[in-house]
Amino acid sequence: MNTISHHFSGIEQEQLEEQLISRFKEIGFGVLHQIDFQQTLLNKIQKDIGTYKQLQICNPNLAYEAIKLEPSIGIQLPCNVVVRKEGEGFTVDIQSPFDSIPESSPQALKELASELDQKIKKLLESVS
């Protein structure tokens, strides 16, 4: 699994999530769903994993282009972002665009993944 990860300290979870949502919106992504795994697992099986929230995000234009180039890629959509408590701060894990495409994918799709990978890394660096 290819993951882009970044650790944040000195920021509250809610503030971090708001900044992530805002920054992703700036590059064309919206949040389709939010899943609070901590609360879900507490409710369903009375197990506490600590702060662990998933944001499912999608950029409709990129999804359209990717699906045109590789119809089976839809199984990997939407993209997943995890915000989890780690130590005194939070770690954000984002599914790498390269994780979603097979080696045999068209070159144009690999180029889209590369561009998006760089945008995500810059996005994480811009969150404070």
C-alpha–C-alpha distance, residues 103 and 100, integer Å: 10
Taking a C-beta distance cutoff of 8 angstroms, is the pair 14, 32 a contact? Answer: no
Token pair recorded at residue 126: 């811009």
Give me the pLDDT at residue 25, please.
96
Token pair listed for 76: 């990997």
> For residues 55 and 81, is the Cβ–Cβ distance under 8 A?
yes
Tell me the average pLDDT across 64-75. 90
> pTM for this structure?
0.88
**pLDDT of residue 128 exceeding 80:** no
Question: Across the chain, what does the average pLDDT equal?
Answer: 92
Beta-sheet strand order (sheet of 79-86): 3-8, 89-95, 79-86, 52-58, 30-36
The pLDDT value given to residue 105: 81
Q: What pLDDT sits at residue 4? A: 94
**Residue ranges of domains in the chain, CATH in brackets:** 3-126 (3.30.310.70)
Widest distance between CA atoms in the chain: 46
User: For the segment 76-118, what is each residue's pLDDT rounded down to a tens digit?
Assistant: 889 999 999 999 999 999 988 888 777 788 898 889 889 999 9
Q: Assess contact for 83 and 16: CB atoms under 8 A.
A: yes
- Give the residue, 75 or 6, on which the prediction is more confident: 6
Q: What are the pLDDT digits (tens) for 49-61?
A: 999 999 999 999 9
Neighbours of 109 (CB within 10 A): 19
